Structure 1
């Protein structure tokens, strides 16, 4: 297999790149991806770091997804959907014949269960707030209800989601990992260990996880899209320092250095002609920022907060990381819908 490095892409793009790289070739084969840190969890309601995000995306499906490398929405588990004229009611038609990794067919009730679960405070999902526009969310998050009143199963292949207010981001939320569909019986069987025993509908299924050493994904032969995945097996080796991963990649022992190019080697690798066809470069849906407690002195004073913002030399930070970023002037990154290219933000002074 061809070896790959990365510059500024998130791991989600790395996995997509590995699939795309082999798209024109025969199906089959395997790759090895290295990471420094062990995987924290593969529970889609919990996982929220750049490393496990793409791994979770490979194991689970949601109503919608993104076209690889873009922010364009495409259907995933949903076959189609309709939106009411007031923008409050979304009716999704579900694909027939989609199977969980345990062999059971996924139905609309599984989608409702998954949305109820991710919204419930006992799940401790860092993404619960993304579902705040769904009717009944406040009751669930406040503990007075266990289920979202706005999510109604009309039949096994139709689900209706009613919002309490218009939300232009709602369809994008349905493409997030947090909206992934999980089987109730597997969650109840494994309990808190579901994150290490994931069961989804994705193109891959986890077959082995040896803590501190590796995680193995194998192709889901029952995946609804018979043309995917291309690879038979992905092995994620953990505990690999980036500099060691780079050396192993040069020797052909691994295929993707998941943590990217070590900063000390960045310019040398980027400028070396032999790596030209091995480097995958792209953008992250990520914004780095400093959070200030506005209820604590002196940051309760807006002038102090503005002074802090003016004191951050973003261009210097960009130079320190070898130009692998652009200056943020708003919470949204450039690829995110809603980003305003004309907004100036606070300048360094």
Structure 2
């Protein structure tokens, strides 16, 4: 809903390209450290009593200076502070020389920076309203987006109205958005929500729960004949890699006696799992088997032909176990695989696959928060994890394998450490050309696959259900809901 109420300097299109929003154009300095944005002069905040005569005023460059300074203010403790924390030295690096020019000075070049600025954290907010309400600004949000808040009963219903002064128009010159209002409901039980969708009380429904997945989808991921023609099912890449992580740092006490410290054992685990079968039978075809690298399908630069991961090859798995000194798994300590209740069926499938090649394992089921803490503190050797992209650039996935990212708490949860990888990762900041950067990403991803600190299970897909009378709802791999182009007949 934040994406409907607020807007940023830039936004993404359905192909994850960065396109103008409040900023109509921008320049990046030769050294990649200075970003100069030129703002539109027709962007207005929605009305609020804190503005003169209650009328929404124009959004100007000092508003972005205020908004970004607010993100890095320790008192605000914003969960989005990571966007700027290691890239700017302080509020002085956000500069508004006039109302239509906004400048950001970085302390080092960072090519994915524009993509990060499309994140909702980087929305422009008015100081009068944000200062007045403080932490309660969440209940009185004032932005420049296509819709404005009308009513919110937390956990139950949220109503947005059309922003009549929204700045964007379609290709024919008609002002966006097309809809007069939106209503979002918060139904905790997915089965109940699905029944509401079937009754046509909901126009849009996101994701499919295991409890009724077989009712809607065949094992191949197509709509069952029961529902054919009754509504639209839209499936597409979602920037989320589902994986198994393995601690590989022999300096850790927990790793010293673990067979996972051996590369050939980790590679054997990779070959032992039939990802095609996993996706087909446990997920009804939702997902793409993870046989390439760690960077997922749908991400710019993804190339399954260039980056080779692991196909299903149990004989190869057995061969590698033998080479590692564990023929048919003999003499190998039992592995403990940590997961949560939601993924127990998936992990039980993996347990069976490992058993087929002689690898004995037991499953440890944890609460989500408890498992996250255990992984962060390096207290589990073998765990199920996933990594969702906060911004559309492969760098975010490779950051999980940069050695300096495991002190103190992450995100290098496997404690992977390869000087060759680190050197390339540090080089990334100085590669401006996207294609050249993608080639470097692929080389790094291949290096990770060879060392096998992870088992890439599958690249996720989003599944959206839409009523037949709804049009104009696009799809992007970040699964970001864009409602300004939607029409309802």
**Structures share fold, TM-score greater than 0.5:** yes
Structure with greater helix percent: 2
* Whole-Å separation in 2 of the counterparts to 1:242 and 1:322: 17
Which of 16, 23, 29 is the aligned partner of 1:71?
16
Q: Which protein has greater RCO, CA pairs closer than 8 Å, 6+ apart?
A: 1
* 1:324–1:153 distance in 2 versus 1, CA, 3 Å: same
Give 1:238's aligned residue: 186
- The yes-or-no answer on 1:322 pairing with 2:284 is yes
Which of 86, 90, 112 is the aligned partner of 1:169?
112
The 3-state SS of whatever aligns with 2:128 is: helix
Structure with larger Rg: 2
Give 1:281's aligned residue: 235
Give 1:254's aligned residue: 202
Alignment check: 8 A CA contact 1:292 1:299 kept: no
Alignment check: 8 A CA contact 1:310 1:347 kept: no
- The yes-or-no answer on 1:95 pairing with 2:40 is yes
- The yes-or-no answer on 1:106 pairing with 2:59 is yes
The 3-state SS of whatever aligns with 1:253 is: coil
* Whole-Å separation in 1 of the counterparts to 2:15 and 2:122: 19
Alignment check: 8 A CA contact 1:98 1:106 kept: yes
- The yes-or-no answer on 1:336 pairing with 2:282 is no
Q: Which residues of 2 match residues 260-271 of structure 1 at below 5 A?
A: 260-269=207-216, 270-271=223-224
Give 1:208's aligned residue: 151
Gaps of 5+ in 1: 1-54, 141-146
Alignment check: 8 A CA contact 1:133 1:166 kept: no
Q: Which residues of 2 match residues 162-201 of structure 1 at below 5 A?
A: 162-201=105-144
* Whole-Å separation in 2 of the counterparts to 1:330 and 1:117: 37
Provide the alpha-carbon RMSD of the alignment: 2.8
- Output the TM-score relative to the length of structure 1: 0.72
Aligned residue pairs: how many? Answer: 283
* Whole-Å separation in 1 of the counterparts to 2:234 and 2:131: 40
Alignment deviations for residues 227-258 of structure 1 (CA, whole Å, 9 cap, x no partner): 21111111111125222222222222221223
Alignment deviations for residues 234-283 of structure 1 (CA, whole Å, 9 cap, x no partner): 1111125222222222222221223x333232233221264345212222
The 3-state SS of whatever aligns with 1:228 is: coil
- The yes-or-no answer on 1:62 pairing with 2:26 is no
Give 2:261's aligned residue: 304
Per the TM alignment, residue 79 of structure 1 is displaced from its structure 2 partner at its CA by 1.1
Alignment deviations for residues 15-47 of structure 1 (CA, whole Å, 9 cap, x no partner): xxxxxxxxxxxxxxxxxxxxxxxxxxxxxxxxx
Per the TM alignment, residue 184 of structure 1 is displaced from its structure 2 partner at its CA by 1.6
- Output the TM-score relative to the length of structure 2: 0.53
* 1:309–1:157 distance in 2 versus 1, CA, 3 Å: farther
Alignment deviations for residues 101-155 of structure 1 (CA, whole Å, 9 cap, x no partner): 231211101111111222233333333222246331xxx4xxxxxx2x3221121
